[in-house]
Structure 1
């Protein structure tokens, strides 16, 4: 299932970390990994909740206590014991199932923790692999939040990162979204029942909106009796909390053609289904600790801010500048400029700024490092320098200077 991908958002105000230089500054990268660990912990906490099991155990204990106070025949006592035994066996199966699910979630948590540890312990090959996995994770997250579930699943399987992305829970959400697109609230109401204790019903209840939509569909199909019965059972309990909204729904019962009534038009607008899908996504992500915006948006935004300097507007803007192209420049049109007029170059070896007095020297393989770093390296190796990224070796005399203007 494919849909329109999310556009770039308006300006974000946040510090711009060095996203891909993770091995030199792991702390910055870990700030973006909250969702990676938050989601499995939320699922584990939900499974580990003992409220349901404790409630069922108390019910069984109450039944036993109640039975002991009655004078029952042997047949009735055996029947009662058989019923209690069946309930206990069901409870045991539930506990075993929960334990199995807990173990699975703990494995996922451990795998994600091990994945993050690579930020601090790893060589060049592991670093390159981690970066590729990081990019794949960002793309999968973007696809999931754009409802491209099939594409996300294929990418996760092809990259072998199923345990590092949240495809499984999004596939559970897919059923609800598909049901709402088919104008059916059954799956969404079932989801509300499963997460009743976690849903926020204080101000803008998702379940209440679903109940109203159910009544609207009954009225749209001229099923007045069904609408009345449904309202009495499911809408009346919300009367005190949503008095005005309930009154608006009640008005719809007074008209034969509700869709033409000015006060009821909004209720019968088919765009209400899209609003329900948006509300479900918001509640779903909040419950699981998932960010509303795809992480790709934050990475692209930060990247554009770093590239977007005042120099991009100059006539002499070099063709090598990514923002030289109008199409690319338009993508970052709403973002602020980087405070420096020109992008600063930092030496990979010394981490010092490269300037007119310490210019970058370009190796034959295309990599560039500061003059200071390469001169020090050459003085220790009989005039030879080695590229720290590729291992390429050459003589210092083979290097060319990259001239820097107006830093």
Structure 2
């Protein structure tokens, strides 16, 4: 009885320490949000300071998600935002990710056991997928007796919830990896990548973390406000592949073009265009005055225009007037 009480005491002390850390983090994060709430305007000087802290948070979050744990921890410590970011959570996530990439399931299964009740609530299939992969590896190595024993112990209980997968797993015993037959997908190395993605998605869902980096979420909002249908046209892509330095549109740049593809177009109620539009032979449309000023600066002469984006030069006789109806 005394031993049990001592064990319980140690567990309670551990939980108390964890609770203190969580409370400290919560107070710090609420204080961070209160700073923004207390600002009277976004033009306030304090907003710039608050924005820098937010950017640091985004950078730490991005680095943690991509495995740069040491750099992320150093940045968080230097900027004093350790309580505003979930360093330990992401470090644990990345460690398990790496173990799965190295084809090891032990750490991930231990994590599943630790969070078993929570995983049941969100109806996660992660543990079953891991158990199935262990079974597949035993079959791949032709350790059939061990595979059958493992299936009886860990997979048979999932017969009702995953009947098709359980049946296929049982039948694949007769098909070696050299002749996989209809079980080629089970033997495929890509299943490990699938496990990594499943774990990360499950982990983030369990901790209520965004599936995408916060930096991407913030960028997407800005990109969407600038994006127009022409940004991903064939013409735009062709002229901006070689060099994005000449592009006047951030979305058309090679650095941001791919990232902006999945975001929606910005809703613009008013369009602003030059009144003296002409179309160049490459299909781009500009104002005559604007091209004339550029030609003057570049000393092209009276008979030529230069495309400010692609750098191509055209004779004035090649351009056509554009009328908006």
Specify which of 12, 18, 28 is matched with residue 111 of structure 1.
Answer: 28
Residue 277 in structure 1 maps to residue 206 in structure 2 = no
| Structure 1 stretches lacking a partner, 5+ long | 1-83, 314-318, 344-407
SS in 1 for 2:182: coil
Q: How does 1:73-88 map to 2 (within 5 A)?
A: 84-88=1-5
* Cα distance, 1:309 vs structure 2: 5.5
Give per-residue Cα distances to partners, 1:292-334, cap 9 Å, x unaligned.
Answer: 1122222212212223358989xxxxx8954496436734355
Give the structure with the larger helix fraction: 2
Q: Which residue of 1 aligns with 2:181?
A: 262
| Partner secondary structure for residue 198 of structure 1 | helix
Structure 1 residue 171 displacement after superposition = 0.9
Count of equivalent residues: 255
Where in structure 2 are there 5+ consecutive unaligned residues? Answer: 234-245, 274-325
Name the counterpart of 2:71: 151
Q: Which has the higher contact order (CA 8 A, sep 6+)?
A: 1
The equivalent residue for 2:213 is: 294
- Structure 1 residues 271, 328: closer, same or farther in 2, change over 3 A? closer
Give the TM-score, by structure 2 length: 0.70
Higher Rg = 1
Shift of 1:93: 1.2
Which residue does 1:341 correspond to in 2? 271
CA contact (8 A) 2:180 2:187 kept: no
Distance 1:202 1:122 in 2: 39
In the alignment, is residue 132 of structure 1 matched against residue 62 of structure 2?
no
Match of 2:6 among 64, 67, 89: 89
Equivalent in 98, 102, 127 of residue 207 of structure 1: 127
1:329–1:258 distance in 2 versus 1, CA, 3 Å: closer
What are the Cα deviations for residues 58-105 of structure 1, in whole angstroms up to 9, with x where unaligned? xxxxxxxxxxxxxxxxxxxxxxxxxx1101111011111111211111
**Does the Cα contact within 8 Å between 2:76 and 2:82 map onto a contact in 1?**
yes
Cα distance in 2 for partners of 1:220, 1:142 equals 37
Instruction: Say whether the 8 Å CA contact 1:144–1:152 is kept in structure 2.
Output: yes
Tell me, in whole angstroms, the C-alpha distance in 1 between the residues paired with 2:61 and 2:136. Answer: 35
Q: For 1:326-365, list aligned pairs within 5 A.
A: 326-327=253-254, 330-331=257-258, 332=260, 335-339=264-268, 340-342=270-272
Q: TM-score, normalised by structure 1?
A: 0.57
